[in-house]
Structure formats: C-alpha cells, structure tokens
A = this chain, B = another copy of it.
C-alpha cells in the first residue's frame, strides 16, 4: 500500500483523487494541496477520505511517508514541481503537457532519470477501452504492417476565449492527445507534420490567434501515414474515433453512447449521441491510468506513458504550429 499526495485540487486533481479512493487498490491518498483551500475543498476531501489538505505543496514533497505525487496544478507549474518532486525522491504522475518548452521538458526528464523515480504522463486516452482494443489488434499482428492511422477528435463546444488565449493553441490544448494517439496506435515515431487549419467555427478564436478546425498529416518512421481531423465544435457531441489500417486488415472504433437504444419512428431511426465530453467518455480511463501508475510504483514496473511519451507530442505540436504558420510540411528534426 503506497501513500499518495495530490498537488492541485482542480477538476482533474479531484477526478484522480476519486479514482484512487474508489477504484485503486494499493494506494491511499495522504494529502492534497491547492493554493486556495476553501471550505468546500475541505468538505470534499473529508467526504472522500483524504486526511490532510494543505495550501502548500511543499508539505507533500517533504512528507517522508508519501511515496508518489500527482502533479495536477496549472500547466506552467508542471515542470518545476516535477523537478522538485524528483529531487525529493517522489514517484511522479504529471498531467499533460509537461511543458510547452522542449528544453524544460528535457530538464524534467533528466532529473527524473537521475532520481530513478517513476514518471507517468497523463495521456489517459491510452487507457480508454476503445483505443486499447485497437492497440491490442495492432500488437497482436492482426493489422499486419500499419499503413494508415486515422484519428477523429472533435469537441462538443468551444472553450472560453480566455482559455484559448493561454492554452498554447488548439494543437497544444486539444490535438496533443491525438498526436499521442497516433504514436500509441502506430507504435512508431512521427517524423514530419503538415497541418491545414482554419477558423470556421468562431471568429473570436481567430481573433485570439488560434484556429478551430484542422486536418493534420503525419509521416511516421515506419512509413505509415497518420491523419487527424479536429474541430472545436461538433454539435452532436464529443466525437472520438480512430482507425488503423494495414496489410492484414483494419480496426476502427465508434463513439460511446449512454445506451444502445435505437428508436424507430416516422421521423427515422434514431440512436443516441456520443457521450457528451471527456469526463463522461473517459472517466474509466482516468481510473485505469491511476491504477496503472500505482501498479508501476508498487511493483517497480516501467510506466506505460513515460517521459519520452510526454515529450514527443509537444514536439509534434510545435511542428504542426510551424507548418500551419509557414504553409509547408515540417520535419520534427527542425524542432528538437
């Protein structure tokens, strides 16, 4: 049984906390920290059985009983806190992205390696039942050599413009998951990126310097070609599908729905819309990535989403951004 500290009590920090307390055998949460400790947070922590709530994450890092920390604070603090945690000898689960700056990521990875602690990045979709089912077919050889990898990833609603302004742009706040998915499903590294994108959903997004619609083509080291299509707004809900096509076959997934009910009426044959957004669709994957992280720590296994898995999607996102700006394909070797 390991003891865990959660740094950051925002939405994702709480999702992970509830996962651990409900589903993850082998771990208990000793403390959570947040820069703003409210009564509501105290109450919530008590209900799910977290004994300590701090306003300073240093108390977590300094607690010798705590084996592992979850870095769920704001993105710009992921790198420095991870470095401190590594130096404190804590195993680290770090939310994505580690950072938008490649050098800072590399510094984190160096410190992690030096400290010999576990490090897992929060690409939870790898733990989704649908994407795992694709991966299993690929690994089992049922697809043969992968030739084409397609990811459709569309959000149900535009984020607040204030968020768009600071997120680093769509490639960093949204497509980063899809970049990871292309690597995960193909089992290969991205070598070149071409991004076509535009502002088709909301002009305010364009005014904020970002795009809301894109098609990104990715060349992979194994010769396969990946393609992602993104939109910040699908009126029918969160559209999350993927397909791998290869020499022996193809495997694809549909969206999840709340039920399988199909209603036939004069108006047509109506199925349910996809589960609304990431909390509905990916809740089980959040629990499963926690269980996996705890298992890595407890049983001294490599994590399933390691430091390089945190780095590569950032490199791809930087290449995609450069490609969009310059209107040409960009090699990853131009970035790193």
Q: Give A residues with C-beta under 8 Å from B.
A: 22-23, 25, 47, 129-130, 132-134, 137, 142, 145, 147-148, 150, 154, 194, 196-198, 200-201, 213-215, 217, 219, 223-225, 227, 229, 231, 233-237, 239, 245, 247-256, 258-273, 327-329
The one of B23, B154, B258 that contacts A129, using a Cβ cutoff of 8 Å: B258
What 7 new A-B contacts, CB under 8 Å, besides A134-B261, A148-B215, A236-B249? A130-B260, A133-B260, A150-B229, A236-B250, A236-B264, A236-B268, A269-B270
- What are 18 A-B contacts with C-beta separation under 8 Å? A129-B258, A134-B261, A147-B201, A147-B213, A147-B231, A148-B215, A197-B225, A217-B217, A227-B227, A234-B245, A236-B264, A251-B261, A251-B264, A253-B259, A254-B262, A264-B273, A268-B270, A268-B271
Query: Is the beta-carbon distance between B247 and A265 smaller than 8 angstroms?
Result: no
Chain B, Cβ-Cβ closest to A148: B229
The answer to whether A249 touches B263 (Cβ under 8 A) is: yes
What number of copies of this chain does the assembly contain? 4
Q: Given the interface contacts A132-B259, A261-B253, does A266 sit within 8 Å of B236 by beta carbon?
A: yes
Among A25, A129, A194, A327, the most chain B Cβ lie within 10 Å of the Cβ of A194
Q: Give me the 9 closest cross-chain CB pairs, A-B, nearest first.
A: A249-B265, A133-B261, A133-B259, A236-B264, A254-B260, A269-B271, A268-B270, A129-B259, A147-B200
Q: Is the CB of A253 within 8 A of B245?
A: no
Known contacts A265-B248, A265-B249: A329-B194 contact under CB 8 Å? yes
Contacts of A194 in B (CB 8 A): 194, 196, 217, 329
Output the residue of A259, A260, A261, A270 with the most chain B CB within 10 A: A261
Whether B268 lies near A250 (C-beta < 8 A) is no
